[in-house]
């Protein structure tokens, strides 16, 4: 029978093996696992299963460390662009079927507002369209995967936390491609939340370390924000907290690769 003194060493070894296994997976698969782990952590927090939450959070930290190691260093960007309230083109999928639109034309639009229902099928349609649009961007493949992960997290949060999984409520997604950057704005119909307690507009420090500190004090919130911070250059919320803007710059060095 093993003594308790051996447990920390065994857990460290398990996590090291877990990290080596994660490092061999494609970045897109790592992002999917991270988003699944966020959902599972929330579920076990609600159930009060502290041991399972601890194990999942330790694995979550490992996956985030791998993403951090794989992703290029990002310089802090201060936005000098105020996103337009009205897009050049609107695609209303609440009232219309996607089949009624020309997919190729939608894919090539650089300024477009999508409006869609808060159901899983509608979200998957938007993810598919966004993926096709990302493929046309002048960025590294890793950046495309990161942007897709950040968008999934932002829209998923709008569905779950903003609209409370109510399929009768809608989500707006404004896609704006500028010469030097991409701006993604997601708005739900929820009551919003106190985002200032979780993230500041001018970020400083390591978001992974901030999450560790929150974990040490008994908290687990903000894991999705932590993921998005690793995937784009900047995130901002409106005052109400029911709208998030993701911003990604096009690095000229990446365009040449």
Task: Say yes or no: 100 and 213 in one domain.
Answer: yes
Q: 87-133: per-residue pLDDT in tens?
A: 889 999 999 999 999 999 999 999 999 999 999 999 999 999 999 99
Residue 90: the pLDDT is 95
Q: 180-220: per-residue pLDDT in tens?
A: 999 999 999 999 876 666 555 444 445 555 555 554 444 55
Handedness of CA 202, 195, 133, 28 (dihedral sign): positive
Average pLDDT (19-31) is 94
Task: Say yes or no: 99 and 182 in one domain.
Answer: yes
The better pLDDT of the pair 143, 48 is held by 143
Residue 68: the pLDDT is 85
Task: Give the whole-angstrom CA distance, residue 28 versus residue 50.
Answer: 29
Report the range of poorest mean pLDDT among 39-48, 52-61, 248-257: 248-257
- Please give the residue range of the domain that contains residue 16: 4-70
**What CATH number corresponds to the domain at position 146?**
3.30.565.10
Residue 155: the pLDDT is 96
Task: Say yes or no: 65 and 102 in one domain.
Answer: no
Task: Say yes or no: 118 and 235 in one domain.
Answer: yes
Domains identified in the chain, total number: 2
Neighbouring CB atoms inside 10 A of 229's CB total 23
176 strand-pairing partners:
111, 183
Q: Flag whether pLDDT at 241 surpasses 80.
A: yes
Residue 193: the pLDDT is 73
Task: Give the whole-angstrom CA distance, residue 72 versus residue 8.
Answer: 32
Whether residue 151 contacts residue 145, with contact meaning beta carbons closer than 8 Å, is answered with: no
Task: Say yes or no: 112 and 145 in one domain.
Answer: yes
């Amino acid at each position: 029978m093993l003594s308790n003194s051996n447990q920390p060493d065994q857990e460290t070894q398990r996590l090291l093996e877990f990290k080596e296994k994660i490092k061999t997976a494609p970045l897109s698969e790592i992002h999917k696992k991270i988003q699944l782990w966020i959902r599972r952590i929330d579920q076990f927090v609600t159930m009060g299963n502290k041991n399972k939450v601890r194990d999942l959070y330790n694995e979550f930290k490992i996956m985030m460390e791998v993403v951090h190691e794989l992703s290029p260093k990002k310089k802090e960007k201060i936005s000098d662009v105020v996103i337009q309230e009205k897009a050049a083109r609107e695609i209303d999928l609440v009232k219309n079927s996607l089949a009624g639109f020309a997919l190729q034309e939608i894919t090539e639009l650089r300024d477009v507002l999508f409006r869609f229902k808060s159901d899983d099928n509608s979200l998957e349609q938007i993810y598919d369209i966004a993926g096709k649009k990302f493929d046309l961007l002048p960025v590294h493949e890793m950046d495309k995967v990161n942007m897709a992960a950040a968008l999934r997290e932002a829209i998923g949060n709008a569905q779950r936390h903003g609209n409370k999984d109510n399929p009768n409520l809608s989500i707006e997604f404004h896609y704006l491609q500028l010469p030097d950057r991409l701006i993604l704005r997601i708005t739900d119909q929820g009551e919003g939340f106190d985002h200032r307690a979780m993230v500041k507009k001018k970020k400083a420090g390591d978001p992974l370390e901030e999450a560790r500190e929150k974990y040490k004090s008994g908290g687990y919130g903000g894991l999705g924000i932590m993921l998005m911070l690793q995937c784009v250059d900047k995130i901002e919320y409106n005052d109400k907290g029911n709208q998030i803007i993701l911003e990604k710059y096009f690095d000229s060095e990446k365009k040449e690769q």
